Amino acid sequence: MSNERPPADDLDRYSLAALTKPAALVRVAGIGTVVLAIAAAFAGTAGWLSPGRLDPARMIDRFEAVNGAHPGFRRNHAKGVCLTGWFDSNGTGARLSTAAVFAAGRLPVIGRFALAGGLPMAPDGPNAVRSLALEFRLPNGQQWRTGMNDIPVFPLKDPRAFYEQLGATAPDPKTGKPDPAAVQAFFAAHPESARALALIKAKPFSSGFANATYNSLNAFVFVDGAGTERPVRWSMVPNDSFAPEPADTPSDRNYLFDALAARVKSAPVQWRLVLTVGRPGDPTNDATVPWPTDRERVDAGVLTVMALQGEDTGACRDINFDPLVLPSGIAASDDPLLSARSAAYSQSFTRREGEVKPPSAVRPD
Amino acid sequence: MSRPFPILSRLLHWTMALLILAMLFIGVAMVSSLSDYHRLVAIHRPLGILLLVLVAVRLINRLLSPPPPLPAAMPAVLRLAAQASHWLLYALMFAVPVVGWAMLSAAGYPIQLVGAVYLPPILPHDRALYAVLRPAHTVLAFLLFATFLAHLGAALTHALVFKDGVFRSMVK
């Protein structure tokens, strides 16, 4: 750097007079336009210019609008309890996927039993869908997270249908019940949901959490050692024998969870992990459609639930059971629900982790 | 007229400029998308770590071969703005990916780069940390975008209005 005073015309180029000359003003305006155009493109990409677009925040907003505010709780499957146990792989699944979870051996598992719906204090009842979410911790540091439901198919095809269904089945503040016309209009617009609901109703629910079959519903892609990809849906099939729901359900608010806690306390509860292998042409992008019943089923091992913990102390509280946390060897399919679940769960997780959570309804300890 | 930036500095500058701009757009697209969320997150994570590596290389390179001096005639206030905004850019180029890595750690997510390549967590699984870091990642990214816009506007002003060789020293 020179200590000499720069020439006058050099100093002048930074002066206000130089900047306000017409030619300079045109250029400054041009620069401003470029900067604003990039800022506008950013705002457009962020969705700020399209307030009607269905995004993860609006999806979770609708859960909150329908169910009310329940800070600290999951926005869906709000009522639940943590579980710990392990998975004993028998090695059979390794033929279909290189994921370390299918190599023979035992892995620790943590998870959560829950009722579908956004009300953390909802009474247990015969109409509630039950869910089982699991996190398998693989020896190579990878994880497999899955959230499964005790219904044979999912009633909704894509996130838009999910969003509309939430609105259509929201209880009317006056009657406390959904508006029948809105429900009817929804099913008229979504015949695939009407078909799925008929399948769900045709299959009897079990009497409790411990003897329910939990299904992945969405299809995933399994990749074997040769790189061959196969569509797979999986289920947790109980070792406890099936009993249908009793005609008269107990009036206790937590009767399902209490029965589960008593069952786990008496002895570990087990499920078999069954992989159903799809064939070319089986729909992978539509969870409302079942696959033909003759598809190959591979028994990959046994899940053992050893203990339950209340969410207030249990490790499951701070886990987002994002269905796309997958180990190498399992990948997402083209099912539009998968990315949407991942995005919406993340939104719900971020909101609840920043909130003070009141005690959960189920506290088995 | 000032000497140009060394070739390595220019290469790092323009590579990172493109990647950071892409990254900021991917970030806002990702969090507002249901259908492309997963695909974009799978790009966002490894690209963020790549940018963290690049900014570390860039800082070392800057210390080894300092940038050319600003024109002697530049007023003190512009000089200060130039220097402060550059250090702010560097701070944010480090902070945004580090906070991203830290928030995934605090959330208890496995941090996948590509295939079977995973990063270790840099913080314990902790809801209170996540609750602070997740919004911090967004705020810092918006600040980086705003600083980038100011930087772009200033660079174009040097090129088209001041015509003092500052812009040319980075494109030469």
Task: List average pLDDT for each run of 10 residues in chain B, which is 172 residues long.
Answer: 85 98 98 97 98 98 94 94 97 98 98 93 97 98 98 96 93 84
Does A39 share its domain with A69?
no
In a domain, B2, yes or no: no
- Report the residue from A14, A32, A41 with minimal CB separation from B78: A14
Nearest CA in chain A to B126: A318
Helix (H, G, I), strand (E, B) or coil at A312: coil
Does A177 share its domain with A115?
yes
The pLDDT value recorded for residue A6 is 61
The pLDDT value recorded for residue A117 is 95
Count of domains for chain B: 1
Identity of residue B58:
R
Query: Helices (H) and strands (E) in chain B — how many of each?
Result: 5, 2
The pLDDT value recorded for residue A5 is 59
Count of domains for chain A: 2
The pLDDT value recorded for residue A19 is 86
In a domain, A93, yes or no: yes
The pLDDT value recorded for residue A1 is 42
Helix (H, G, I), strand (E, B) or coil at A302: strand
* pLDDT tens, residue by residue, A193-205: 999 999 999 999 9
Cα pseudo-dihedral A168, A172, A176, A182, rounded to 10: -40
Does A26 share its domain with A162?
no
In a domain, B1, yes or no: no
- Give the residue numbers spanning the domain of A295: 56-353
Centre a 10 Å sphere on the Cβ of residue A10 and count the other Cβ atoms it contains: 15
Q: How far is CA A287 from CA A134, A318, A349, A355, in A?
A: 20, 27, 24, 33
**The two three-digit tokens of residue A264, written as one number:** 């786990």
In a domain, A359, yes or no: no
Active site residue A77: yes
Binned at pLDDT 50, 70 and 90, residue A2 comes out as: very low
The pLDDT value recorded for residue A321 is 98
Does A166 share its domain with A80?
yes
Predicted-complex ipTM score:
0.96
Residue of A77, A79, A233, A351 with catalytic role: A77
Does A24 share its domain with A120?
no
Identity of residue A137:
R
CATH code for position B29: 1.20.950.20
**Of B134, B158, B11, B148, the residue nearest B92 (C-alpha):** B148
**The two three-digit tokens of residue A97, written as one number:** 């996927």
* pLDDT tens, residue by residue, A236-253: 999 999 999 888 888 899
Helix (H, G, I), strand (E, B) or coil at A336: helix
In a domain, B29, yes or no: yes
CB contact under 8 A, A47 and B32: yes
The pLDDT value recorded for residue A199 is 97
Per-residue pLDDT at A142 exceeds 80: yes
Does A215 share its domain with A236?
yes
In a domain, A358, yes or no: no
- Give the residue numbers spanning the domain of B150: 7-171
Cβ contacts (< 8 Å) between B145 and chain A: which residues?
42
CB within 8 A of A107, min separation 6: which ones? A86, A87, A89, A101, A136, A137, A138, A139
Interface A-B, measured as beta-carbon pairs within 8 A, has a size of 136
In a domain, A83, yes or no: yes
The pLDDT value recorded for residue A127 is 83
The pLDDT value recorded for residue B2 is 63
Arithmetic mean of pLDDT over chain A: 95
Please report which helix (H) or strand (E) contains residue B53, including its range.
Answer: helix B37-64
In a domain, A362, yes or no: no
In a domain, A320, yes or no: yes
Does A24 share its domain with A106?
no
Per-residue pLDDT at A9 exceeds 90: no
Does A76 share its domain with A13?
no
Centre a 10 Å sphere on the Cβ of residue B101 and count the other Cβ atoms it contains: 22
Q: Are B107 and A320 in contact (CB under 8 A)?
A: yes
CB contacts under 8 A, A 81-140 vs B, are: 140
CATH code for position A140: 2.40.180.10
**Of A359, A348, A360, the residue nearest A322 (C-alpha):** A348
Does A27 share its domain with A123?
no
A108 vs A313, more confident: A108
* pTM recorded for the entire structure: 0.94
Q: What average pLDDT does range A2-16 have in this prediction?
A: 69
CB contact under 8 A, A14 and B41: no
Does A240 share its domain with A345?
yes
CB within 8 A of B40, min separation 6: which ones? B26, B29, B30, B33
- Report the residue from A38, A159, A349 with minimal CB separation from B149: A38
The pLDDT value recorded for residue A176 is 84
CA A73 to chain centre: 14
In a domain, B67, yes or no: yes
Does A186 share its domain with A271?
yes
In a domain, A248, yes or no: yes
Per-residue pLDDT at A323 exceeds 50: yes
Distance in angstroms (rounded) separating the CA atoms of residues A102 and A230:
15
The pLDDT value recorded for residue A124 is 95
In a domain, A121, yes or no: yes
